[in-house]
Structure 1
């Protein structure tokens, strides 16, 4: 389901931006560890929520949003058509593939760069390839 005629994939890159990164670093430097952990944790969760929001928008654009679970609990359990895969996880372990994805999406337009190890910077950023096929499922490639 990846290359037949007329097939498409979605690509996404989201970030909370560098301001939250700087704020968390300042809290850490001030030894305000609880505040640091709460801000860091919240920003990581907000990044994931933003990624899920855009994944939902992609499903809507593809005309498959009606397959989504009607309740938020179902959405959180990924009860929808298709799957979102991110580099660095078992299904796509090669982080170096972040580079062509970031180049394709113009990551610098939203203030996202890559470290020497191909980690997204700011930390509260995530990228993904979205497959819409009903049989797309998460798997372990290693």
Structure 2
């Protein structure tokens, strides 16, 4: 969540004046979405291999993928950020 706040307010700066409380964050009142491989709107775990390759994840931060596309170490996360104000989650 903290990284998402930094992206919205600082790195990309599309919501620089945002000041959401915890309840509003849980209810996804922020702008944009963060789909991730393996979740309902992006169910294909194999997309992680593309992310890892394009960002050279193993060499850059030492994280890796197992044969079943689980990420190691277990606390590793990956996904996509979409900042468009009309971006919404959907099921496939």
The TM-score, its normalising length taken from structure 2, stands at 0.85
The structure with more radius of gyration: 1
* Conserved 8 A contact 1:90-1:139: yes
- Structure 1 stretches of 4+ moved >6 Å: none
Equivalence for 1:59: 8
Bigger share in helix = 1
Is there any run of 5+ residues in structure 2 with no aligned partner, and where? none
- Measured in 1, the distance between the counterparts of 2:17 and 2:77 equals 24
Q: CA RMSD in A?
A: 1.6
- Runs of at least 5 residues in structure 1 that lack an aligned partner in the other structure: 1-51
Q: Is it true that 1:97 corresponds to 2:30 in the alignment?
A: no
Alignment of 1:2-81 (within 5 A): 52-60=1-9, 61-66=11-16, 68-81=18-31
Structure with more of its chain in strand, by fraction: 1
Matched length: 90
What does the per-residue CA deviation read over 1:49-103, in whole Å, with 9 as the maximum and x for residues that have no partner? xxx2112211122222246453222112211000000000111111111011012
| Between 71-80 and 87-96, the greater mean CA deviation after superposition | 71-80
Q: 1:138, CA displacement in angstroms?
A: 1.0
